Amino acid sequence: MITGPKFKICRRLGSDIYEKCQTQKYVLSESKKSRNLSKGRKRRSVLSDYGKQLLEKQKVRFTYGISEKQFKNLVKDAVSKKGKEGSETLYENLERRLDNVVYRLGLAPTRRMARQMVSHGHIVVASRKVTIPSFVVKEGDVVGIRGGSQNNGIFVNLEEKVKEGSQVPSWLKFDISKKEALVQGRPKLKQGESLLDLNTVIEFYSK
């Protein structure tokens, strides 16, 4: 997915979109721009409800690195499911993407790198190589590093990297010694846990 200048996107959607925007360089850049604004430059106008919905949609899409067509289909599928809130289903479908699972396990520092790992054939699901980042894992699947890739440089000092990275979510059980993880449940959208407003996204596509 072509994204464009990351600083520009983070300025519009928020610094949590990309890890690159969570650095001192970005903070200094934004501080400089804020000073320029205070010296008389025109400030942004207040967003309309539609503008807020569009912004939130873009925020979710860029966070997970999904094309507009893919994302629209995910939302459509989420809304069509009965028995659950659309936002819960959408969150579940986003989190169960294979590239996101690789990222959540700490095998890659960013979702972009996780997508590359999958595309280059380093990841297996149920002992079968999967090269499709959008592949959706299901409960009971075992996700791991392909045997021929385990000595690849990107997996050097894996235990240290995983410990330093984000905490593995409870729906994934990671056995670092085997370099594989069991999908033991489904991702749950807990109120206040996610910074993304998926209900607003659903409203945007419902118009």
Q: pLDDT: is 59 or 84 the higher one?
A: 59
Confidence check: pLDDT of 42 > 80? no
What is the pLDDT confidence band of residue 164, given thresholds at 50, 70 and 90?
Answer: low
Confidence check: pLDDT of 19 > 60? yes
Q: How far apart are CA 25 and CA 11, in angstroms?
A: 13
Confidence check: pLDDT of 38 > 80? no
pLDDT, residue 1, reads 55
The percent of residues above 90 in pLDDT, for the chain, comes to: 50
Go through the domains of the chain in sequence order and give each one's CATH number. Answer: 1-39 (no CATH), 49-90+194-207 (1.10.1050.10), 97-183 (3.10.290.10)
Average pLDDT score over residue span 144-165: 83
Average pLDDT score over residue span 85-100: 94
Read off the pTM. Answer: 0.78
pLDDT, residue 137, reads 98
pLDDT, residue 105, reads 94
CA dihedral over 147, 153, 155, 158, signed as positive or negative: positive
> What is the chain's length?
207
Average pLDDT score over residue span 42-56: 79
